[in-house]
Homo-oligomer: A and B are copies of this chain.
Amino acid sequence: MKLLDGKSTSLAIQQELAEMVNNKVSKGFKRPHLAAILVGEDGPSQTYVNAKVKACERIGFESTLIKLDATTDEASLLKKIESLNNDKSVDGFIVQLPLPDHIDESKVTLAIDPKKDVDGFHPMNVGNMTLGLPAFLPATPNGILELLKRYNIPTEGKKCVVLGRSSIVGTPVSILLSRKSEIGNATVTLAHSRTKNLPSICRDADILVVAIGKPNFVNADMVKEGAVVIDVGIHRIEDATKKNGFRLIGDVNFDEVAPKSSYITPVPGGVGPMTIASLLQNTFKSAYEKN
Contact = CB atoms under 8 A, between A and B. Distances in A.
A179 B196 contact: no
A210 to B, nearest CB: 15
B185 A175 contact: no
A247 interface: no
A211 to B, nearest CB: 14
Interface string A164-179: 0101000110110011
Contacts of A240: none
Given A187-B201, A189-B187, A175 B130 contact: yes
A161 to B, nearest CB: 9
A62 interface: no
A176 B132 CA distance: 17
Given A124-B123, A156-B194, A187-B191, A131 B179 contact: no
18 contacts: A123-B130, A123-B133, A127-B128, A130-B175, A131-B167, A132-B167, A156-B194, A165-B179, A171-B175, A171-B179, A174-B190, A175-B175, A178-B192, A187-B191, A187-B194, A187-B196, A187-B201, A189-B189
Interface of A: 106, 122-133, 156-157, 165, 167, 171-172, 174-175, 178-180, 185-192, 194-196, 201
